[in-house]
Amino acid sequence: TAEDGSQAWLRYAPVPNANRYHSLPLSIVALNSTKSSPVYTAGQELQKGIKGIFQEQLNVNSAGKGSSSIIVGTIDAYSKAYGDCDEFKELEDDGFYLSTEGRDVKIIGKNERGALYGAFEYLSRLAQGNFASDSYLANPHAPIRWTNEWDNMDGSIERGYGGPSIFFQNGYVADNVTRAAEYARLLASIRINGIIINNVNANVTLLSARNIEGLGRLADVMRPYGVQLGISLNFSSPQSFGGLSSYDPLDPSVDAWWTNTTNTIYKRVPDMAGYLVKANSEGQPGPLTYNRTLADGANMFARAVKPHGGVIMFRAFVYDNHINESNWKNDRANAAVEFFKDLDGKFDENVVVQIKYGPIDFQVREPASPLFSTLRNTSTSIELQVTPEYLGQNCHLVYLAPLWKEILDFDTRADNKSSKVSNIISGQRFKRPLGGSAGVVNVGTNTTWLGSHLAMSNLYAYGALAWDPSADSVDILREWIRLTFGFDEKVSDTIIEMSMKSWPAYENYSGNLGIQTLTDIIYTHFGPNPASQDGNGWGQWTRADKFSIGMDRTVKNGTGNAGQYSPEVAQRYENIETTPDNLLLWFHHVNYTQKLKSGKSVIQHFYDAHYEGAATAQTFVSLWESLKGKVDEERYNHIMFRQVFQAGHSLVWRDSINQFYHNLSEIPDEAKRVGNH
């Protein structure tokens, strides 16, 4: 049977024999819910899910209760209806309590959003055939769990691979916002509570009256899912849109312009999450134009949204893209710390500095950004990419949870104490009031959302890790597979095997040993182009010549980047012996003949890794083929097409990279595969 891909993991497919294992309550009580409330949504969703899973139609009431009910609501509503209850005391904002013990199922949220999350949790358990009786609390690891969408007003999406925008068309907010509502539903089910709907390279016309009205319509359809809308701003708007003579953040007329504009937007979207700002980066305007600091810029917006409870996400992705490679000490990786370290403590309380996970740009392998442990008096968040810009653009399978977890689990050793990135961005480590994560998703109108059915595991995993960074990559997959493809063990084992091998394979053929990436960096960021990194101002250099390769980021002889980490980590990266092989060329410039910990030379590792990575990609075709008949035809064929493409393209990668370094170094491949034999 054909599957509606747009339901993703919320299919609520019938569970065989469900009725035998679970005595379903007789009705649903969604306490005190008005139509735009997430609790109302929870009631509707429970009804829909139970219909799908059990083929039973339950009524939804807003009060009272029969002999056995599924009760969903906030703590307050519950206490009013049934009296106080101790179990919920430990709940935090967005958290929920779920109990399937006794005659009633209780789903209680600290707030309305939490109640909805609890309803999704209950449905997810049922849909996975989990009918256990138990009760537990779940609280989020961090308050900010947002997505960023890089949608342009003309309907295109920067680095989007799932078709055109679901939010914008021809310069305006789309008339039809149904898909936006469906997306909000998906996001709520993975506990995402905010969404920035337009490109960080922001178009000023978003601020027109017609578009503000459109933002209102979008917010209205997402509100029932507890997903707050936010927007990206163009720093020059007061001048380029408002007609003022300047956009200097310390000019009172500029300040007043932002206050007015912000008030106008909040009138239509009273619960707007806030603004995301990319300033002084890649040609975008910013405060540095007026010799003001980045904090001056951020705080101007912070003041404007403060009375409305809004938050400013200010991106740390600030760097000069015209740096000169002939200077050995130049290094784009140093930029974020250089721009932000002296501003620590100077940001208003409702500002969060949003930091890409690595110092450069969503590469296949990067160390954690040194900025995480540098900012102690500033709230921070991590920026991840669900849209795999540099990682195969959903034409290659790359399951990203293991990559994200390496960064989240990384111990920055601030003050020689356990200081994991995950505990810094949650606010816990440095006792900050705000923090969390932003995932650049870039969904489109394609029924698969991202352009590939399998890629949806990444969106699912993003939500799971934003809520709980200690979640296990394989457990997340297993859940997602059950919900998306059903209960067949072979389907599950096979997709797990492919997914868990996918990042290492892609790393092997697209950017091994910490060389970050060998993809084309000039425009497409797709396919091999190892010559494109060097000889330009972007600073994603490999510094490869006939004899040697890699960035010398040591303090003793290089760009000093290793020294931006806390002392324990800095020392580890300063020395070749203690630098892990997978970051060797990130931190060190070495000869191709340099020996790795494995005993292999760098160049031989290149040759071998490219053969290994491509060989793994070939196996994905036969692995997927083994599922013929076990997955519906539409999705089977769709995924097959992509795996065949990846298998072929991985050979293109393998041969072009190997040939390139063979030509450059003239060092033969010990296995005699590369070159003219």
**Which amino acid is it at 621?**
V
H, E, C per residue of 418-474: CCEHHHHHCCCCCCCCCCEEEEECCCCCCCCCCCCCCCHHHHHHHHHHHHCCCCCHH
Q: Does 317 bind ligand GCW (CB under 6 A)?
A: yes
Q: Respond yes or no: is residue 282 known to be catalytic.
A: yes
Size of the site for ligand GCW (CB under 6 A): 10
- Among 45, 149, 182, 361, the active-site one is 361
Q: CB 523 → ligand GCW: shortest distance, Å?
A: 9
- The reply on whether position 149 binds ligand GCW by CB under 6 A is no
Strands 105-109 and 590-591: unpaired
Does the protein bind ligand GCW through residue 339 (CB under 6 A)? no
Nearest residue (CB) to ligand GCW, 69 versus 199: 199
Known catalytic residue: 87? no
**Choices 72-80, 194-202, 484-492, 645-653 (CB under 6 A): range interacting with ligand GCW:** 194-202
> Shortest distance, CB of residue 173 to ligand GCW, whole angstroms?
20
Helix (H) or strand (E) run with residue 195 in it:
strand 194-196
C-beta nearest to ligand GCW: residue: 361
Rounded CA-CA distance 526/360 in Å is 17
For CA atoms 221, 441, 168, 248, the dihedral sign is positive
Strands 69-74 and 105-109: parallel
Site for ligand GCW (CB under 6 A): which residue of 51, 80, 159, 376?
159
**Cβ contacts of 89 within 8 Å, gap of 6 or more:** none
Q: Which is nearer to ligand GCW, 158 or 320 (CB)?
A: 158
Cβ proximity to ligand GCW: between 284 and 658 the closer is 284
Pick between residue 157 and residue 465 the one whose CB is nearest to ligand GCW: 157
First to last CA, the chain: 51
Q: Does residue 479 carry a catalytic annotation? A: no
Residues 44, 68, 130, 201: which binds ligand GCW (CB under 6 A)? 201
Report in angstroms the alpha-carbon separations of 566 from 224, 340, 386. 44, 16, 29
Decide: is 527 part of the binding site for ligand GCW (CB under 6 A): no
Is the CB of 106 or the CB of 278 nearer to ligand GCW? Answer: 278
* Residues of this chain, 351-370, that bind ligand GCW according to CB under 6 A: 361
Stretch that binds ligand GCW, among 196-204, 209-217, 448-456, 652-660 (CB under 6 A): 196-204
543 φψ region: left (φ > 0), alpha (ψ -120 to 50), beta (else)? left
User: Rounded distance, CA 434 to CA 422, Å?
Assistant: 13
Please report how close the Cβ of residue 281 comes to ligand GCW at its closest, in angstroms.
Answer: 6
Distance CA 270, CA 260 (A): 14
Helix (H, G, I), strand (E, B) or coil at 27: strand
278 binds ligand GCW (CB under 6 A): yes
Closer of 247 and 317 to ligand GCW (Cβ): 317
Contacts of 261 (CB under 8 A, 6+ apart): 207, 237, 242, 304
Per the residue annotation, which of 56, 134, 213, 282 is the catalytic one? 282
CB of 265 to ligand GCW, least distance (A): 22
Q: Is the dihedral of CA 50, 52, 56, 61 positive or negative?
A: positive
Nearer to ligand GCW, 522 or 652 (CB): 522
Decide if residue 316 touches ligand GCW (CB under 6 A). no
Closest CB to ligand GCW among 282 and 497?
282
Distances, alpha carbon 214 to alpha carbons 374, 479, 634, in Å: 40, 36, 35
Which listed residue (75, 107, 200, 481) binds ligand GCW by CB under 6 A? Answer: 200
Could you tell me the smallest distance in angstroms from the CB atom of residue 132 to ligand GCW? 43
Binding residue for ligand GCW, selected from 9, 96, 122, 150, defined by CB under 6 A: 150
- Considering the complex, what minimum distance in angstroms separates the CB of residue 168 from ligand GCW? 15
Distance, CA of 157 to CA of 163 (rounded, Å): 8
Any contact of residue 158 with ligand GCW (CB under 6 A)?
yes
CB of 159 to ligand GCW, least distance (A): 5
Shortest distance (Å) from residue 200 CB to ligand GCW? 5
525 token code pair: 């960021």
Stretch that binds ligand GCW, among 195-203, 482-490, 562-570, 665-673 (CB under 6 A): 195-203
Cβ–Cβ under 8 Å, residues 229 and 272: yes
What CA dihedral angle connects 325, 330, 331 and 337, to 10 degrees?
Answer: -160
Q: Which two tokens mark 159?
A: 């680095």
| Separation between Cα atoms, residue 533 and residue 518, nearest integer Å | 7
DSSP secondary structure, 564-594, as one string? GS-HHHHHHHHSGGGS-GGGHHHH--EETT-
Compare residues 317 and 430 and give the one whose CB is closer to ligand GCW. 317
In the complex, what is the shortest distance from the CB of residue 549 to ligand GCW, in angstroms, rounded to a whole number? 22
- In the complex, which residues of this chain contact ligand GCW (CB under 6 A)? 150, 158-159, 199-201, 278, 282, 317, 361
Q: Catalytic positions, please?
A: 282, 361, 389
